[in-house]
Amino acid sequence: MVKKSSNRDFVKILLKMPVKNIRFSGNRISLSFFNHKISDKITIKREDHVAEWSRKRKEIFIDRNFGEREKEKSFRALCIHEVIESFLVKEFKLRLDEEAHVVATQKEKEYLESAKGNWKSHELKVFWDWHKMGEH
C-alpha cells in the first residue's frame, strides 16, 4: 500500500514538472523532463496503434496514416507523449496505464496548447484511432 501511495505522490510531482528544450531533428526527438535529457528515434510506419514505443530500443513509432493527415503540431504532441511515457516506465517503473500514460497525456496537452494546436480535435483523433485497434 505504501508503494501505491508514494507512486501517486510522485505522479503529482511529475504532473507539475515542465517539459523543456523540445527539439525535433531529422528522425529524432529530444527534450528535458524531470532533470533528465531524453532522446529517441522516431519511426513512421504502419502501426495498429496511433503511436507506440519500443520496449527494447530507444525508439517511438508513429502510424504513417496519422502523420500524413495531421498537422505537424499533433504529430509532435504524439512524439512528446510517447517519449515521456517510455521514459517513465523504463526509468521509474511506473505502471503504464495508471501512471505513466496520465503524465504523458498531460505533457502532450500542454505542448499542443503552447503551440496553439487544437487539443479537442487532436484528442478525438487519437481516441478513435486507438479504439479502432483490432478492427483492421
- Kindly list the structural domains of the chain, giving each domain's residue range(s) and its CATH number in brackets, ordered by start: 2-131 (3.30.2010)
DSSP symbol at 18 = P
pTM over 0.85: yes
What pLDDT score was predicted for residue 130? 66
3-state secondary structure of 60: strand
User: Average pLDDT for residues 80-97, to the nearest whole number?
Assistant: 96
- In angstroms, the CA 58 to CA 94 distance is 17
- In angstroms, the CA 135 to CA 124 distance is 18
Judged against a pLDDT cut of 80, whether residue 78 lies above it is answered with yes
Judged against a pLDDT cut of 60, whether residue 3 lies above it is answered with no
Greatest pairwise CA separation for the chain in angstroms? 45
Give the confidence band of 106 by pLDDT, cuts at 50, 70, 90. Answer: very high
- In angstroms, the CA 45 to CA 112 distance is 23
User: Average pLDDT for residues 64-74, to the nearest whole number?
Assistant: 75
